[in-house]
Amino acid sequence: MEFNVRLDRASVAPRHIETIFELDDVNTHISNGRVVLFQRIQLNERMYHEGFIFKNYMNGHCRFAESRRFPVQYGSWEELTEDNWEQILPVKIYARSRSLNFDWAAYVLPLDPHVGETFYVEDLIEDVLVSEFWGEKIYAVDGIAKWNGVGLEFRRDLYDSSECMFVG
């Protein structure tokens, strides 16, 4: 599940920062006088769902579950009994889908960034876990950052519980 920051509270919409993953794009932006900030992509261990693949003996269908017995909505439980389900193997599933052909990405700032200027970052490089809800990992896909002249200072407070309300 994705979490997006709310831009509707700002009186003036901030300029956007682009996230890129290709050196040809980097070189084009540098040639056009843009500031490019490289960053390593590091997977966040807290963003993994750990569990098992189970296979039903009757129909052969497979499914993921955190364990043989797990809670489901409205306070009940579901059980994948050994009589009906074969445990195939333990697995980890990463919550955020993205291409990981490279272990880096880069932010491209608009032309003439001013120290102290606030920007909207549409595609975060960092994987930020915001919350969890019914076994789902909720991660941030975008953010707000301020340019300090050498790097970006992200508004981490946008991902705390006072800003993030989930109803289910």
User: Does residue 168 contact residue 156 with C-beta atoms inside 8 Å?
Assistant: no
Task: Give pLDDT tens digits for 50-69.
Answer: 999 999 999 999 999 999 99
**pLDDT(29) > 80:** yes
List C-alpha distances in Å: 53 to 50, 72, 129: 10, 18, 24
132 belongs to a structural domain: yes
Q: Which of 8-12, 95-99, 122-126 is most confident?
A: 122-126
Task: Give pLDDT tens digits for 113-150.
Answer: 999 999 999 999 999 988 887 778 888 889 999 999 99
25 belongs to a structural domain: yes
Q: Do 106 and 81 have their domain in common?
A: no
Q: Do 33 and 105 have their domain in common?
A: yes
Q: Do 71 and 36 have their domain in common?
A: no
The share of the chain scoring above pLDDT 90, in percent, equals 65
pLDDT number for residue 168: 47
For the entire predicted model, the pTM comes to 0.79
Number of H helices, E strands in the chain: 1, 14
What range does the domain containing 86 cover? 47-93
Domain closes at, from 93, 114, 130:
93
Residue of 53 and 73 predicted with greater confidence: 53
